[in-house]
A and B are shown apart, each in its own frame.
Chain A
Amino acid sequence: MQAAAIELSSVRKVYGSGAAATVALDDVRLSIEPGRIATLIGPSGCGKSTLLRLVAGLEPADAGSVRVHGVTPDEACAAKLIGFVPQAPALLPWLSVLRNVTLPQKINSGAAKRRERIGDLADRDGFAGAPDMRELLRKVGLGDAVNKLPSQLSGGMRQRAAIVRAFGLRPDVLLMDEPFSALDEFTRESLQDQLLALWDDLSTTVLFVTHNVSEAVRLSDTVVVMAPNPGRIVEAIDIGLPRPRNQQVFAERAFHDCEDLIREKLYSAWRSPDAS
């Protein structure tokens, strides 16, 4: 049987101790099949970014288990299964765009061998060596910017470069922490297009954190609705809209039905904070 790309069971995460303790995540169970896009949505403080950091291996869970393709996040990082796109583009200001996106490929060169040893990943055809980064940059409209420094780019272009950097690793799991939240709406929608196009080509699993309902519906196969105090999952809603979802999807009735459903779940969880 194929392992889930991301699997969390009874995960708990607490910050602080004693009376000042905050339960960031409580009894979180989540399973995401390979090749799907899942979105975590919820108000601030619902633990969606914490959940992402746990999957990325940046923080340990206090209880329960987190698995990425059947191994711990730490082992997944060591085998370079994970691509991470933070909220800020976090490009290295002293490197050109091209060198920014190629540097991660040169880091941790033993990862490919470690990846082969992870069960069902060896036969996934995704890992066909490093992709042509110039080509990827051209695809997202950065063809003329390959030799520019990050400080010479606009915010949207920087975030595109950060996405290309993550895709360039051909990750099995792509983790994105509100990557478009600092961008204006037009830039945001065109970056969604480009993300979907790259995802089509490289078919990786995506876990995407957002607080924007239409972004969640447009991108996702599954929208995971979360609520705060304590941070928890309220419901995972499957989005059955057909793909490819271009910008016309915003005009469709089914799209708005999905949006309404998610809003309703968000607000009902908001109104009854003790619902857990």
Chain B
Amino acid sequence: MPRRAWFGWIRPAIWLPLVVMLAIGGGLWQWGARSMPYLLPPLPSVFDSLSRNPSYYVRNAGITLGEAAAGLGMAFVAAFVLAVLVSEVGMVRRAVMPIAVVLNVTPVVAIAPALVVAFGFGPAPKLIITALICFFPILINTAVGLRSVPVPMLQVYQTIKASRLELLVHLRIPHALPYLFAALRIVTPLSIIGAVVAELSASGSVGGLGSVISVASSMNQLAVVYAAIFVLAVMGVLLMLIITLAERCALRWHESSADRAT
């Protein structure tokens, strides 16, 4: 049960290894920062930068998060609709899937500079990059999920002549949900990467943690760079937490959540 897992954290055997690991990591970092000051900023100065100017980081984190979420949302809607078309219409499947597979293995972030040239320093290139990165994993996973309903389940509903829409709504989409959540787990960290890379490529853009990093590193402010990276990491963890909670609510019936509960 989740409750018991939560209480388990009281036992030192559960939390001690992590704390020791963090202490060793922190010690090594401090040693590195003292002997090579141009390589790493001392940890206190990183947290100092965070605590002296929290609104600066929150505002820029908000911009990056907004870009990531908007790109992810656009990708989600487009990929879901296309996945339904791909799974229902053979012609669309044969036209789209080979291209999707090729684009999925292409490092889409590489076109970020080109998009900045085309669309300037506004939000457009950031949204396009993020959406492009998120699009294909969602499309491919969802299409597979929609098409992999077990045959006996389909047969039961075929013998009462369920329409294609009824099969889609009552069988295919619910069956595809675990696949969709698996895609979201892959794509959520990618959406932040997409937004940050786009910001880095458009140095001098209005804001976002990517711009903070590129501006601060050009001025040798290592503490600010690492503070921004720290905020990005926290943001990623929070987003994954939200996805996990949503998944637990939506997939109570699925084996993957039953495993975690026991």
Contacts and interface: CB of A to CB of B under 8 A. Distances in A.
Interface of A: 56-58, 77-78, 80, 82-84, 86-88, 90, 92-95, 103-104, 107-108, 111, 149, 151, 165, 169, 175
Interface string B166-194: 10001100110100000000000000000
Contacts of A107: 157, 160, 162, 166, 170
A104 B160 contact: yes
Interface of B: 150, 152-153, 155-163, 166, 170-171, 174-175, 177, 252-255, 258
Contacts of A58: 155, 158-159
A108 B153 contact: no
A56 to B, nearest CB: 5
The 9 closest A-B pairs by CB, nearest first: A90-B152, A86-B152, A84-B159, A94-B253, A90-B153, A77-B161, A78-B161, A107-B162, A94-B174
Given A88-B152, A92-B153, A92-B171, A108 B159 contact: no
Nearest to A56: B159
Contacts of A90: 150, 152-153, 155-156
A85 B160 CA distance: 12
A3 B252 CA distance: 48
A108 B160 contact: yes
B156 A165 contact: yes
Contact of A57 (B150, B157, B159): B159
Contacts of A95: 253
Contacts of A93: 253-254
Nearest to B252: A149
Contacts of B159: 56-58, 77, 82-84, 175
B161 to A, nearest CB: 5
